[in-house]
Amino acid sequence: MSEINVAQIGIGGVGSGIVREILKTSDLNLVGVVAFRPEKIGQDVGTLLGLSKPANVATSSSIEDILTKHRVDVILLATSKGKLHDCEEEITPLLKRGINVISPCMDVSDPHLYDAAATRRIEAACLKGGSAFVGIGSTQLVLRSLFALCETARDIKTVRSFVHADVTKFPLESKRHEFGILMTANDFKSASENNELRGRGALIKEAEYIAIRLGLDFDQSTSRYDPIIEEDTVIGVDHIFEVFKDEVCVVSYTYRFIEDRQHQYFHRFEVDSTPSINARVDFSLDRGIEGTIVPMVKAIKPVFSAPPGIVTLHDLPTGIVPYTLKTV
């Protein structure tokens, strides 16, 4: 296979990690990176990231600048746009031009679950340009892990999925605005009642998708916040998504974000099935950021080789595609 020309939009925390991986991966050729902060524009990305030598790739102020100078096979989005409707306007022109796109946004891994009309527009853009689009990142790792475990199971009755994420190192404003962490108990109650917390609301569709994929009938789904409070301060929150059949919970999917003094990050799965499943997977604390960086880089080759259209989360092979480091 000849080298795949890759460009990236964004070079923040996640974007920097992706660039580092691309630069050391064989068969991938980084041709450009879009930066948004003025002081980053025009700099060599190797110098910008403090690498031992220049990468001979300068940051640009726009993707158009890169596209006029290079053939680009795949574009990776590494921006803060976290929702399907936020990134649709950005990706559809690229897809129509025949450029494959990968995004880590929350609700793009299986967009038909979230917005059927937007999904049709994105699919049409892919077909027009002969390109492919996929959403993959940290959040999707949970479902892929659960479904892999359930390959051994039959007669599934209920599923419990629990994610415990230490957010001690998250920016303060992010913790407060998204989850209400470090608010007073009264402020949290008010923010929750007024729908001011961002949380992980899109995951209600993933909870329903668990039921669909595992053959569990349901007629209702709900979500709620349960704060974890110490001395009138919210130190964590459980964002709980439940799927019911005849008022019986068949799927429970909980994301716990917490200021954890033990600095734990783990997934736990409990499946009432034959055989039953009770599994806990512990990660180092870099799981959150690496869980976005690595799947995006691994998805480049499958997306480049995919037929035109939306590549769903489960179209990707298990483990996606290992990448080979360049020889030095």
Q: What are the C-alpha distances in Å from 138 to residues 20, 162, 294?
A: 18, 14, 9
Q: Which CATH architecture has domain 140-284?
A: 2-Layer Sandwich (3.30)
pLDDT at 168: 85
Give the tens place of pLDDT for each residue, 20-50.
999 988 899 999 999 998 889 999 999 999 9
**In sequence order, what are the beta bridge partners of 240?**
224, 254
Q: Which of 181, 93, 103 is nearest to 140 (CA)?
A: 103
Q: Kindly state the average pLDDT of the residues 159-187.
A: 90
Q: Which of 270, 239, 248, 252 is nearest to 211 (CA)?
A: 252
For the whole model, what pTM was predicted?
0.86
Q: Is the pLDDT of residue 87 over 60?
A: yes
pLDDT more than 90, % of the chain? 62
Domain boundaries, the chain: 4-137+289-315, 140-284
Give the tens place of pLDDT for each residue, 185-228.
999 999 999 988 877 777 898 899 999 999 999 999 999 999 99
Exposure class string for 8-27: b at 16+ Cβ within 10 A, else e:
bbbbeebbbbbbbbbbebee
Can you say whether the dihedral through the CA atoms of 218, 223, 226, 227 is positive or negative?
A: positive
Q: Is the pLDDT of residue 322 over 60?
A: no
Correct CATH for 4-137+289-315 of 3.90.190.20, 3.40.1190.20, 3.30.930.20, 3.40.50.720:
3.40.50.720
Q: Residue 78: how many CB atoms within 10 A of its CB?
A: 25
Can you say whether the dihedral through the CA atoms of 152, 154, 159, 160 is positive or negative?
A: negative
* Element (DSSP H or E) covering residue 310: strand 309-311
Q: Is the pLDDT of residue 1 over 60?
A: no
Identify the band that residue 97 occupies on the pLDDT scale cut at 50, 70 and 90. very high
